[in-house]
Chains A and B, each alone.
Chain A
Amino acid sequence: MIFPGPVKDKLIKYCFLGAASTSILIVLLIFGFLGKEAVPFLREPGLGKLLDSRWVPVSFVQERFGLLPLVTGSLVVTMLATLIAIPFGVCGAIYIAEIAGSWEREIFKPFIELLAGIPSVVIGFFGLIVLGPIVKEVFGLSSGLTALTGALLLALMSIPTIITISEDAIKSVPRSYKEASLAMGATRMQTIIKVIVPAALSGIIAAVMLGMGRVIGETMAVLMCTGNAPMVTLSPVEPVYTMTAVIASEMGEVAFGSEHYRALFWVGLVLLFATFIINYIAQKVLHTYQQR
Chain B
Amino acid sequence: MEVKIKVENLNFYYGPTQALFEVDMEIPACQVTALIGPSGCGKSTFLRTLNRMNDIIENTRQQGRVIIDGRDIYKNGIDVVGLRKTVGMVFQKSNPFPKSIFENVCYGPRIHGTRDRQVLAEIAENSLVRANLWDEVKDRLEASALALSGGQQQRLCIARALAINPDIILMDEPASALDPRSTAKVEDLIGELRKKYTIVIVTHNMQQAARVSDFTGFFYEGRLIEFGRTQKIFTQPDQKQTENYITGRFG
Contacts and interface: CB of A to CB of B under 8 A. Distances in A.
Interface of A: 101-102, 174, 176-187, 190, 194-195, 198-199, 292
Contacts, number: 71
A195 B161 contact: no
Given A176-B91, A176-B95, A185 B53 contact: no
Interface string B54-70: 00101000000000000
Interface of B: 51, 53, 56, 58, 80-85, 88-89, 91, 93, 95-99, 107-108, 110-112, 144, 157, 160-161, 164
Nearest to A195: B97
B95 A185 contact: no
B95 A174 contact: yes
Contact of B98 (A178, A181, A187, A199): A199
Contacts of A176: 91, 93, 95
Nearest to B84: A185
Contacts of B82: 185
Nearest to B170: A183
Contacts of B83: 185
Contact of A185 (B56, B98, B112): B112
19 contacts: A102-B58, A176-B95, A179-B91, A180-B91, A180-B97, A180-B160, A182-B53, A182-B56, A182-B84, A183-B88, A183-B89, A183-B161, A184-B160, A184-B161, A185-B82, A185-B108, A185-B112, A185-B164, A186-B108
Nearest to A291: B144
Nearest to A183: B89
Contacts of B164: 184-185
Given A179-B53, A179-B56, A292-B144, A184 B111 contact: yes
A187 B81 contact: yes
